[in-house]
Amino acid sequence: MLIENHLGEDLSLDYAEGGTGQWPVPAKSGDVPGRWWSEVPVGTHILNYTSAKYYGKVTFHVEDGGSYVSPLWLNDRSEDWVYPMEIPAGCR
């Protein structure tokens, strides 16, 4: 799982289900997003996220042998924050 933080503030993630851990995702620096990544096991995962302005929960399910591009984007300039994405060419 790769998380990119395009906000101008730090983001904190912690597992509510499906694993253990808490991770800081740094704020973007210029045009470069803050990044955090980790391997996640097969199963359902729930992550709670918090920042200075935002909080929420993301639930996702990982299937054995499946690959995904996240459909979830948080946009700090709009109330519209969920966008579907296609898997880019060359990815699997």
| Other residues' Cβ atoms within 10 Å of the Cβ of residue 54 | 13
| Cα–Cα distance measured from residue 82 to residue 91, given in angstroms and rounded to the nearest whole number | 21
Q: What percent of the chain has pLDDT over 70?
A: 72
**pTM of the shown model:** 0.66
Comparing 36 with 66, which gets the higher pLDDT?
36
Domain residue ranges in the chain:
1-92
DSSP code at position 82: B
CATH 2.60.40 fits 1-92, yes or no: yes
Tokens at 86, concatenated: 């296609």
Whether residue 44 is predicted with pLDDT greater than 60 in this model: the reply is yes
